Amino acid sequence: MKRITQYQRILRRRQTVPLAGKHPVDPVLRHLLVHAVFADAVVAPEELETLSLLIPEMSLNDLRSWVEEEAARLLDTDAILTAFPLRSDRFALLQLVRTMVAIDGDTHPGEDTLMESLTTILLE
């Protein structure tokens, strides 16, 4: 099973146990999802809870601090493109981000902007 699929299963609540093991693409996926969570400038409790399943090695307090620090960094699209060279994986990334921004039940204009930008960058 691809790592993106494992993340998606957690986001769609088909898997409620924390993500197991480490994978080389984890830092890139986590970076991308933090930007998805923070696109509306608010980390909702359900978003933090979901991230805690994806990053089980951090306490909730550490996770919240890490999210704020990571969100302050520019989105590293070069790292994303390098880690996911296949168009099919990039399409799966867009689905992953779309799922993440919908977790709080509200779509913010910042999240729409992020989705539009990512679509252009990942699928051109």
Give kind and range of the element (H or E) at residue 101.
helix 87-102
Domain with 29, as residue range(s), is 3-17+24-123
* pTM for the full predicted model: 0.91
* Number of domain units in the chain: 1
Rounded Cα–Cα distance for residues 87 and 65 (Å):
33
- Ordered per-residue pLDDT tens for the chain, 124 residues: 699 999 999 998 877 788 888 999 999 999 999 999 999 888 999 999 999 999 999 999 999 999 999 999 999 999 999 999 999 999 999 999 999 999 888 888 989 999 999 999 999 8
25-50 pLDDT per residue, tens: 999 999 999 999 999 888 999 999 99
Burial of 89 (0-12, 13-18, 19+ CB in 10 A): middle
